[in-house]
């Protein structure tokens, strides 16, 4: 082997070692940088005509398990969605009140029954009459508070959806720009590992808003598919999807005949194709969960009102003194049920004259399958008149409209502003039991959301730890590699120094 060749091999070794040292130094420096992955370069032997020419260190490349990365991002999307659900449902749970303190809707109806039972023992006692009216006010107030919390949460869901669409568009623009950079650098033979790290971070962030499946191309390009299979365009300068702000009311819904604007992709409504991530969860809450909550509250308020009214006491009414028609479908515009829980109140007549709690407000004619006949206590009637109170306790707050005849079942299907929703339970006949059931299920949904978030976050943390073990930087291992490379550098330097000395000795002999 000639001295020139020996010098060339040693020089290539020094150069390869320098590049490897640069990779290790970069790894150590960025060990705590979010999204950074370990960079390595493979050494390649160079030969010509069977003769060694030294070594070459390949371009820095990432050590990434793409399947693991995708799975980690998916769990991040699940955790983000559950976090949205937990946050919006927490406000509703708080407004339902504490069961331990007897504050929830079922408890207030039970307290009304207790107050009426006390009045039944002394129907002419004015203080007890006023107590019963106040108990009724508490019921109406709890309906209004909870229904208001549901309505506010639904508006928050829509507003959050619009904000999330903006975040998705921003994320897609970032990914598009990074993809252009990656493809350009690859076409010029440059390394792209740093840009790929940035793109993976952008994909992880986008996955929290909208579950995606990334198809990586050989040239560094990327195809993004949603969970439902539609492609998301990567345009660095434009918005892929659009959504509009809107003020939602109790009768608002998305779909045919509805007034909630859609989420559009290229002019196509994709609202109902979204699922998962914060965006999908906002849509699910706005269009399914919260409209069902409000419908159940409306049905409870309307049923309570009509059952009192049918027994001869118009205790509750709407804002203008109206009583809803609970025999009609919930979403029938003439039934007065949609949004009724937001406006239920104690009637002006009873509020102004608590004695009507004993006497009644109107006569009732007997009908087949309906309540028995009733005539109110006249002004000069007995102070101990208890007929109305018996009817209310036995029937308005019980399971029968009259002796031996059950109340018609409270609707569990065909509810919601468009009639497309269903309650996840069989409604009890008693209005108190119905209110307690819906309270338990609605507050239980928050607990389920918290459990889902904790589970998804636990999985994400576990997968992130595994990803860090496989693709992250281990400072101890990098320091050991640094020492090995320093030794290799010193060895190559000694080879060059020895060759240089030999060359000088040959020159001196020639002189």
Confidence of residue 53 (pLDDT cuts 50, 70, 90): very low
What is the Cα–Cα distance from 240 to 227, expressed in whole angstroms? 16
Give the helix/strand (H/E) hosting 307: helix 290-310
pTM of the model: 0.87
What is the Cα–Cα distance from 67 to 478, expressed in whole angstroms? 25
* 136 against 71, higher pLDDT: 136
Tokens, residue 355: 């004695």
Say which range, 48-52, 65-69, 237-241, 430-434, has the weakest mean pLDDT.
48-52
* 283 against 487, higher pLDDT: 283
Region of 378 (left: φ > 0; alpha: ψ -120 to 50; beta: rest) is beta
Cα-based distances in Å from 221 to 176, 178, 180, 199, 425: 9, 10, 8, 11, 49
Burial of 299-335, coded b for 16+ CB within 10 Å and e otherwise, reads: bbbbbbbbbbbbbbbbbbbbeeeebbebeeebbeeeb
What is the Cα–Cα distance from 473 to 36, expressed in whole angstroms? 8
Give the helix/strand (H/E) hosting 115: helix 105-121
Matching residue, tokens 């399971």: 399
Summarize pLDDT for 184-205 with one digit per residue, the tens: 998 988 888 889 889 999 999 9
Give the helix/strand (H/E) hosting 45: strand 43-48
Between vectors from CA 210 to CA 207 and to CA 212, what angle results, nearest 5°?
65
Q: Give me the pLDDT at residue 34, please.
A: 73
Tokens, residue 466: 């595994």
Is residue 100 scored above 90 in pLDDT? no
Q: Give me the pLDDT at residue 69, please.
A: 86
For residue 81, give the nearest of 282, 291, 228, 272 by alpha carbon: 282
Q: Give me the pLDDT at residue 382, please.
A: 96
* 23 against 396, higher pLDDT: 396
Matching residue, tokens 């959050």: 160
Give the helix/strand (H/E) hosting 348: helix 348-352
For residue 485, give the nearest of 5, 8, 25, 62 by alpha carbon: 25
What is the Cα–Cα distance from 364 to 353, expressed in whole angstroms? 20
- The per-type count for the chain, helices as H runs and strands as E runs, is 12, 16
What is the Cα–Cα distance from 29 to 475, expressed in whole angstroms? 9
CA 498 to chain CA centroid, nearest Å: 69
**Regarding beta strands 405-406 and 400-402, do their DSSP bridges make them parallel or antiparallel, or are they unpaired?**
antiparallel
Say which range, 166-175, 226-235, 385-394, 492-501, has the weakest mean pLDDT.
492-501
Share of the chain above pLDDT 90, in %: 69
Q: Which stretches does DSSP call E strand in 349-420?
A: 400-402, 405-406, 413-415
Is residue 251 scored above 60 in pLDDT? yes
The residues, any chain, with a CB within 8 Å of residue 438's CB and separated by 6 or more, are: 105, 293, 296, 297, 300, 423, 425
Is 173 within 8 Å of 235 (Cβ atoms)?
Answer: yes
Summarize pLDDT for 293-349 with one digit per residue, the tens: 999 999 999 999 999 999 999 999 999 999 999 999 999 999 999 999 999 999 999
Reduce the DSSP state of residue 359 to 3 states and report it.
helix
For residue 342, give the nearest of 151, 182, 508, 495 by alpha carbon: 151
What is the Cα–Cα distance from 417 to 290, expressed in whole angstroms? 11
């Amino acid at each position: 082997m000639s001295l020139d060749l020996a010098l060339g091999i040693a020089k290539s070794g020094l150069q390869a070692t320098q590049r490897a040292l640069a990779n290790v130094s970069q790894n150590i420096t960025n060990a705590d940088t979010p999204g950074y992955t370990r960079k390595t370069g493979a050494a390649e032997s160079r030969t010509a005509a069977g003769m060694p020419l030294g070594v070459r260190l390949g371009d820095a490349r990432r050590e990434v398990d793409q399947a693991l990365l995708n799975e980690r991002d998916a769990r991040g999307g699940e955790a983000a969605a559950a976090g949205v659900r937990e946050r919006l449902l927490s406000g509703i749970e708080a407004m339902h009140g504490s069961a331990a303190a007897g504050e929830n809707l079922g408890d207030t109806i039970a307290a009304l029954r207790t107050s009426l039972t006390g009045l039944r023992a002394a129907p002419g006692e004015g203080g007890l009459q006023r107590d019963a009216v106040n108990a009724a006010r508490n019921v109406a107030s709890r309906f209004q508070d909870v229904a208001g919390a549901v309505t506010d949460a639904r508006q928050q869901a829509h507003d959050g959806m619009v904000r999330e669409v903006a975040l998705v568009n921003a994320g897609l623009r970032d990914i598009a720009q990074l993809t252009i950079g990656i493809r350009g650098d690859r076409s010029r033979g440059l390394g792209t590992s740093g840009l790929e790290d940035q793109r993976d971070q952008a994909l992880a962030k986008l996955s929290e808003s909208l579950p995606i499946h990334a198809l990586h191309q050989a040239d560094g390009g990327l195809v993004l598919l949603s969970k439902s299979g539609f492609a998301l365009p990567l345009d660095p300068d434009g918005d892929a999807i659009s959504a509009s702000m809107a003020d939602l009311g109790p009768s608002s819904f998305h779909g045919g005949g509805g007034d909630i604007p859609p989420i559009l992709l290229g002019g196509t409504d994709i609202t109902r194709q979204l699922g998962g991530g914060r965006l999908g969860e906002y849509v699910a809450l706005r269009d399914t969960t919260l409209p069902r909550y409000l419908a159940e509250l409306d049905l409870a308020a309307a049923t309570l009102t009509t059952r009192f009214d049918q027994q001869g006491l118009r205790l509750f009414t709407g804002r203008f003194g109206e009583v809803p028609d609970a025999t009609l479908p919930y979403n029938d515009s003439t039934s007065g049920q949609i949004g009724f829980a937001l406006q239920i109140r104690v009637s002006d007549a009873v509020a102004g004259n608590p004695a009507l709690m004993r006497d009644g407000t109107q006569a009732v004619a007997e009908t087949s399958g309906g309540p028995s006949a009733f005539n109110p206590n006249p002004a000069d009637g007995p102070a101990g008149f208890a007929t109305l109170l018996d009817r209310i306790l036995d029937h308005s707050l019980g399971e029968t409209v009259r002796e031996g005849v059950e109340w018609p079942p409270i609707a569990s299907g065909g509810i919601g502003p468009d009639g497309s929703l269903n309650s996840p339970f069989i409604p009890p006949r008693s209005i108190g039991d119905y209110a307690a059931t819906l309270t338990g299920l609605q507050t239980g949904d928050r607990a389920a959301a918290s459990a889902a978030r904790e589970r998804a976050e636990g999985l994400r943390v576990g997968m992130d730890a595994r990803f860090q073990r496989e693709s992250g930087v281990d400072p101890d291992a990098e320091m050991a590699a640094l020492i090995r490379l320093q030794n290799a550098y010193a060895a190559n330097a000694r080879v060059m120094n020895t060759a240089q000395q030999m060359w000088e000795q040959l020159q001196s002999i020639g002189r």
